[in-house]
Chains A and B, each alone.
Chain A
Amino acid sequence: MRVRFWGTRGSIPVALTSADIRDKVAVALMRAGGRQFASIGEAYDFATQHLDFSLSHTFGGHSACVELETGQDDYFVCDMGSGARPFGAHVLARQSGRPATVNVFMSHVHWDHIMGFPFFGPAYIAGTRIRIHGCHDVIEQAFRLQQAPPCFPVEFGQLSADIEFVRLAPGKSHEIAGVRVTPQPQMHSGESYGYRFEAQGKTFVYTTDSEHKLENRAQTDRFVQFFRDADLVVFDAMYSLADAISVKADWGHSSNIIGVELCQMARVKHLVLFHHEPAYDDSTIEGVLRETQRFEELTRGTQALKVSAAYDGLEIDV
């Protein structure tokens, strides 16, 4: 099982500005200190090994789109945020003209989670089969609405792919192309759903746009059970804890601290911070990651929890 991140930003896509790039290059040149590189490979190694990730890379700016590769022919992907555009290019390149079957799992239909679909190349290819799974009864309506005039030049009905909407029952397990998929209701405006995917003895949980009320012990227990013994949990860590339970309470998102605590209780192996706050720059996200790793160290029980921050292009073998 491999998880590949095509979009990791929360709420709205963001892009680096020309000033951001200039500043990164300038600081990198300073850090290089006049060093000479005999090849691009040597320069690449220096950048990777000696510069902070937030300087030599970017966490990226596409909104939510996370692929689960299972080794089967079928594609699995969570959400159709703006990361669906590069994901679609990947599908087309890999299929080399062969028709694809793409299983989409929708957390909910807020705009940042559907906006990539009109730019999802395979939707325009006859023979492609797209099955859009979810628990809401408004998913088809939302997908059609965003392509209706005057919002987009190509109406949903003009797409050439065979597109089907599949309603899933929350809390129940569904066998889909060799993968056991269990949706879980989450607290978010209009409700959202997390997904637990189990295949080949591995478990991956995708849980974004999900607020956790600390006073609700039953809700905490339900999520611990949902995460139980997962190999990888992709978690909405958009806000600091202080913001999440004060000025941004009821905004439908969570924090790094709650992610660590839930994963520790559930004995998860690897937590990935996801749905990054769009106002955060790369350095801030890297800072949040380091602090979260430190918090995990401070609160560790008998089992260590690996903590990473998602970035567009990250691949994790589970």
Chain B
Amino acid sequence: MPLAHRQYDSALVLSPAGRLDHDNCEAFREELAPHLERSAKEGTAIVLDLSGLEYVSSAGLRCFMLAAKQAKAQNSRIVIASMQPVVAEIFQIARFNLVFEAYPKVRDALASLSPGAVAAFDRG
């Protein structure tokens, strides 16, 4: 799964796309791992921009859970933004809405993280 990324000041926006399921969840974890490590080292927060994610299975949700656990263990933050309606419903049914802070838009997520991040986003 391609994992596009953009840096906004002290926040990193990662954008998984397509479907996240049993077939590609390990590849997604491998893509995510260096970003989580960097987040710990540099103190950056992560925004998962899910606007391009069409579907997530339980295996994909597990990847998100592991990322949330790692972020908590290393005292960093990981939040979610821009879920498509189907993915938002799946998050709700699986009670992942209780695991992650979720924001309607990436900008809202960045604003929750730091003034510098949202200022960098607004500058484009």
Give me the interface of A with B, judged by CB distance under 8 Å.
214-215, 217, 220, 240-243, 245-246, 255-258, 261, 291-292, 294-295, 298-299
Contact = CB atoms under 8 A, between A and B. Distances in A.
B57 interface: yes
Contacts of B62: 214-215, 245
B65 to A, nearest CB: 6
Given A257-B93, A258-B58, 19 more contacts: A214-B59, A215-B62, A240-B94, A241-B58, A242-B65, A242-B94, A242-B95, A242-B98, A242-B99, A243-B95, A245-B61, A245-B62, A245-B65, A246-B99, A257-B61, A291-B92, A291-B93, A299-B55, A299-B57
A187 to B, nearest CB: 15
Contacts of B55: 299
Contacts of A246: 65, 69, 99
Contact of A298 (B59, B65, B89): B89
A291 B90 CA distance: 9
Contacts of B4: none
Nearest to B61: A241
Contact of B58 (A243, A261, A298): A261
Contacts of A292: 93
Contacts of B33: none
A214 B95 CA distance: 17
Interface of B is mostly: helix
A99 B78 CA distance: 64
B94 A214 contact: no
Contact of B89 (A242, A245, A294): A294
B58 A257 contact: yes
Given A246-B69, A298-B86, A214 B58 contact: yes
A217 B96 CA distance: 22
Contacts of B92: 291
Contacts of B38: none
B22 interface: yes
Contact of B57 (A215, A243, A261, A294): A261
Interface string B26-67: 000000000000000000000000000001011101100100
Contacts of A243: 95
Contacts of B90: 295, 298
A222 to B, nearest CB: 14
A220 B92 CA distance: 24
A258 B65 CA distance: 15
A243 B62 CA distance: 11
Contacts of A215: 59, 62
A299 B95 CA distance: 17
11 contacts: A214-B59, A217-B22, A220-B22, A241-B94, A241-B96, A242-B99, A255-B58, A255-B94, A258-B58, A261-B57, A298-B90
Contact of A294 (B69, B93, B96): B93
Contacts of A257: 58, 61, 93-94
